Structures are given as C-alpha cells and as structure tokens.
Amino acid sequence: MNGIISIYKEKGYTSHDVVAAARKILNYKKIGHTGTLDPEAEGVLPICIGKATKAVEFLMDFDKTYKAIVEFGTTTTTQDYTGEIISQKKVDFNEDKIKEAVFSFVGEYEQVPPMYSAIKINGKRLYQIAREGKTVERKARKVYIHNIDILAFLPPNQIEIEVSCSKGTYIRTLCEDIGNKLGFGAYMKDLIRTKVGIFELENSIKLEELKNQLNLGNIDNIIIKIDKVFYNYNSIKIKYSGENLLKNGNKINLSYIDDPIKVLKAGNIVKVYSYKNEFIGLYKVEDNYLKPLKLFL
C-alpha cells in the first residue's frame, strides 16, 4: 500500500490522532502526516502511506489555503478562542479601514511565531514554555501571503477571510496582526484548511468514510499515486539500457533519456520513470547527469 490519502481532519483531533486512527483502520504502520493542523482546526490533512512517507518533506513545502473567522476587539494568550483573554477594546467596524489593513499583509511579511506552537527553542517546544506561564523572545520569520480575500463582513466585530500562503504561516498570528494594525486587536475564532498543494477539501474524506471505503473494497480508488503530487515537475523516461543504474540509485547520464528532445537545465528537478513507466523518484539535473534526490523504490 503506497500513496497519499487526503483526510478531512475534524475538530478535536490532533494530527497524530489522525495518523494513529488511519494506522488502525488500514492495519498498516508506515503512515505519516504532512504538516500539523491544530486540534481546534479542521480541514485538509494529507497522510502518506508506505513508500509515500518519503515524500512528506516535499509535501510540507506546499502552499496552503485557509478560511478563517477573525473576531476583532479581543486578544487571547493562544491567539484563538481556546486561550485566556488578554485585552478587550472597542471595535471601529469600518469596512474600508478593515480592507486596507487586511490587504496590507499580501506579500512577504515578518511574522513572530506564537508562544503556543511546536517550534523549539533551546530544545524545548514553545507551547511547553507557555504552559509554564513563561514567555520567551521569538525571532520573526519571513512568510509569504500569496492572496487574501475578505469573504464576508460580519458586524459588529467579525470578518471571514480566505488566505493562500507559504508553509510556516500561522493564521491565528495573522489574525492578531491584522487586529493590531487596526488598533483594537483580534483573535482567530475558527479555521478550516481548504487546500494543501493539489489536495482540496472537496476531495478529502473523514476517518469514518475511510473505514467505510475500506470495507467496500474501494481503498485503491482514494489513494493518490506518489508521482501525482509532483505535478509541477517535468517527467523524464529512461531507456531500458539505463535500468540497472536506476535500480541501484546511481547517477544517470543524460544519454539514457528516452526523449532527448527535452531541454534540461542544471538545477532543475524532474520526475524519472523507468522504460516500463514505473515512477522511480525525483532527480536533480547536474551538467550531463541526473542525480538522485529522492527515490521511491
């Protein structure tokens, strides 16, 4: 069993809970997830099975899309509804000012990670330090907001937004930052992750449905093949004469490429297939060779 299943994580589950449940349902141990989604959040959580667990590091780099409810006028210790209230201020619900503040975050911005996060400082996770009632200085990290849409204004103090962003972006921190820019603070009331790379909410299944599909014998229909997630890389087929080099994980001279017309530039990453169209892995173009980057044999 090798491939990726896009799970719809329901509220109340940790990402680890989802993996543990999937292992039990599928009776298969080699399963991993592709990036933590907070227990209070719901939405897309791709899980990698078998050989696909080697792809986790690549899938974690994919851009993500979220829908969130921002509530203005209140800040909390966790930047979401689970935390204790820190401050409360009167909200000036001016749509034009809110638009200006929200859209100002499009592009690259320096984001300070929240105390309640899994980031490690001096070997200790920030949420562990926070639970001890302590706060430590965190370095701002560059994140990229590709797009923000305001889906709805919800007077007297809420908006719904859709955010497409780079990995490592904390949406609850973004919500608070928007509120701080407006002068009255904010926290994240609700969060749904709607997309991770090619995986979308509409094509994700809940754990109970995973169990049902397994019982119906349809599991192969919901497992996405490993190579499909690398949609942004060109495909290269290797001749029969280069088969042993592929199986042994050696560099491949470009003369073994079945389609010599394709133009390859040094530094490019490509998907490599055997002459039988078997997906071998990701390779990096180096001068006259293809160097193995990640094999899925």
Other C-beta atoms lying within 10 Å of the C-beta of residue 37: 24
Mark whether 94 and 168 lie in a shared domain. Answer: yes
| Domain end among 208, 228, 248 | 228
Q: Poorest-confidence range of 16-25, 159-168, 225-234?
A: 225-234
pLDDT, residue 121, reads 84
Q: Are residues 180 and 125 in the same domain?
A: yes
In terms of domains, do 244 and 181 share one? no
pLDDT the model gives residue 280? 95
Average pLDDT over residues 207-230: 94
Percent of the chain with pLDDT over 90: 77
Q: Which of 194, 222, 201 is nearest to 25 (CA)?
A: 222
Task: Kindly state the average pLDDT of the residues 182-210.
Answer: 96
DSSP one-letter code for 116: S
Q: What is the pLDDT of residues 30-81, one digit of tens each?
A: 999 988 888 899 999 999 999 999 999 888 889 999 999 999 999 999 999 9
pLDDT at 253: 92
Indicate the pLDDT class of residue 120, thresholds 50, 70 and 90. confident
- The H-assigned helical ranges of 107-260 are 126-131, 171-182, 207-215, 219-222, 243-247
**Shared domain check, 81 and 161:** yes
Residues 274 and 168 in one domain: no
- Reported as a pLDDT band with limits 50, 70 and 90, residue 261 is low
Which residue range(s) make up the domain with 266? Answer: 233-295
Q: What is the mean pLDDT of residues 163-183?
A: 96
Per-residue pLDDT at 259 exceeds 90: no
Average pLDDT over residues 283-297: 92
Number of domains in the chain: 3
Overall pTM surpassing 0.75 (yes/no): yes
CATH number of the domain enclosing 24: 3.30.2350.10
**pLDDT score at 94:** 97
If asked whether residues 183 and 78 sit together in one domain, one would say yes
Determine the pLDDT at residue 292: 95
pLDDT bucket at 117, cuts 50 / 70 / 90: confident
Which residue has tokens 């996060």? Answer: 117
pLDDT at residue 262, as a whole number: 67
Residue 118's region, left for phi above 0, alpha for psi from -120 to 50, else beta, is: alpha
Distances from the Cα of 282 to the Cαs of 42, 58, 77, 239, in angstroms? 31, 11, 43, 17
Q: Domain check: are 17 and 135 in the same one?
A: no
- Cα 129-108-128 angle, rounded to 5 deg: 10
Mean pLDDT along residues 194-216: 95
**Domain co-membership, 56 together with 94:** no
**How many CB atoms neighbour CB 29 within 10 A?**
7
Query: What pLDDT is stored for residue 2 in this prediction?
Result: 93
260 pLDDT higher than 80: no
Average pLDDT over residues 141-163: 97
Q: Are residues 76 and 183 in the same domain?
A: yes
Confidence check: pLDDT of 22 > 90: yes
258: annotated active-site residue: no
